[in-house]
Amino acid sequence: MDIRGLTLVVSACALGMCGTAFAAWEPTKPIEIIVPFAPGGASDQMARAIQGAITKNNLTKAPVVVVNKPAAAGGEAMLEIKAAKGDAHKLLTTSSGLYMTPLSSKLPVSWRDFTPVALLAQDEFLLWTYNDAPYKTAGDLLAAAKSGQNIRIGGAGSKREDNLITWALGDESAAKITYIPYAGGGPTSVQLAGKHIEASTGNPSEEVASWRAGNARPLCLLSPKRMAYKEKITDTAAWSDIPTCGEQGIKFTYNMLRGMFMPGGVSNEQRDFYVDLFKKVQETAEWKEYLARNALLPDFRSGASFVEFLTADEQRHKDLMDKAGFLAK
């Protein structure tokens, strides 16, 4: 080593940059994953799958705690993360409500108040009907609506994903459809199985049990491509057998993000710790089993790629919600 190199090393050590100072940042207390919905829902299931994968595989020394804060359609959780600026021990798991709740309510919060960490997957949506309904395709259902039949589509909440999908289907087909909001995907599934509504727009995790039991069946998938999961759900059909709605002449598509965020004001090193942690989670058997069980679309993005996704996805939601009349005045 020449004298200049030795001088640099000595100077660095004098500034306290030698030894353990070079160690990467790690949490020093429990990590909180805040879920903006009630226990048992899809977001809660994802948070607990992540918690289990991290714990079982010893991916971090810090314990992981899941905290549910469902008030104000997730608004309470988002405001808490906004207020926790600089706290690198809090995470928010969220979906399209990240945009839809503030846009429909004027809640003073945006994903730009947070630190985007990673997109973990996308949730796909299907158009469902009860098992012995006369509709064989989405076109049959929409044609019935256009003929004057009272077609009721149920979903979770008002001015949220299911409501938006129902509006878009009616708008594209020029059909009058009645949207019925319920407290969640579970109650919607019960109403469909009981034939109190003609259809629903649930994601796979919300209707798979009813499909397996013979109470409901999918008409089409609201994604550009068919699912890849080939394991049979019923005696005759797998997720991969379900046609896309595009195959049935419907242009509208809709997927929902499943992502992780930190409060604003954290360091790049702290953010990178969690990006690396979630990359490790993606490789675990527990995470892969969770994706397959819920028929989620694997899609990991971080950094600029995730920010670009969020920017485009938010604008699309804003445009659709404006046309649907869902934006807060």
pLDDT tens for each residue of 113-162: 999 999 999 999 999 999 999 999 999 999 999 999 999 999 999 999 99
| Residue 13 resides in a domain | no
Identity of residue 151: I
CB 229 within 8 A of CB 252: no
Identity of residue 144: A
Rounded CA-CA distance 196/135 in Å is 15
Tokens of 286: 């527990």
**pLDDT for 4:** 47
Report the candidate in 125, 130, 133 with the shortest Cα–Cα distance to residue 156: 125
Identity of residue 22: F
Positions of the chain with pLDDT under 50:
1-21
Length of the chain: 329
Rounded CA-CA distance 59/285 in Å is 13
CATH number of the domain bearing residue 284: 3.40.190.150
**pLDDT for 27:** 97
Whether 134 and 240 map to the same domain: the answer is: yes
Rounded CA-CA distance 197/190 in Å is 10
Question: Would you tell me the crossing angle of helices 42-56 and 285-294 to the nearest 10 degrees?
Answer: 160
Please report where in the chains the tokens 């899809």 appear, as a residue: 42
Distance of CA 161 to the CA centre of its chain: 11
**pLDDT for 19:** 44
Whether 134 and 227 map to the same domain: the answer is: yes
Distance of CA 113 to the CA centre of its chain: 19
**pLDDT for 38:** 82
| Residue 50 resides in a domain | yes
Please report where in the chains the tokens 């930190």 appear, as a residue: 262
**pLDDT for 127:** 98
**pLDDT for 81:** 97
State how beta strands 151-156 and 199-200 pair.
parallel
- The secondary structure element, H or E, covering residue 309 is helix 303-324
Q: What pTM was computed for the model?
A: 0.90
**pLDDT for 218:** 98
Cα angle for residues 108, 111, 114 (degrees, 5° grid): 100
Rounded CA-CA distance 43/147 in Å is 38
Beta bridge partners of residue 60, listed in sequence order: none
Spatial neighbors of 274 by CB under 8 A, at least 6 apart, are 91, 117, 118, 260, 262
CB 62 within 8 A of CB 28: yes
Whether 110 and 150 map to the same domain: the answer is: no
| Residue 146 resides in a domain | yes
Plot region of 106 (φ>0 → left; ψ -120 to 50 → alpha; else → beta): left
Strand order in the sheet with 255-263: 64-68, 31-35, 90-94, 255-263, 114-124, 297-302
**pLDDT for 22:** 52
Task: Give the domain-ending residue among 253, 269, 289.
Answer: 253
Whether 61 and 103 map to the same domain: the answer is: yes
Give pLDDT tens digits for 253-293.
999 999 999 999 999 999 999 999 999 999 999 999 999 99
CATH number of the domain bearing residue 135: 3.40.190.10
Domain extent, residue 49, equals 30-123+256-324
Task: Give the domain-ending residue among 211, 230, 253.
Answer: 253
**pLDDT for 10:** 44
**pLDDT for 16:** 45
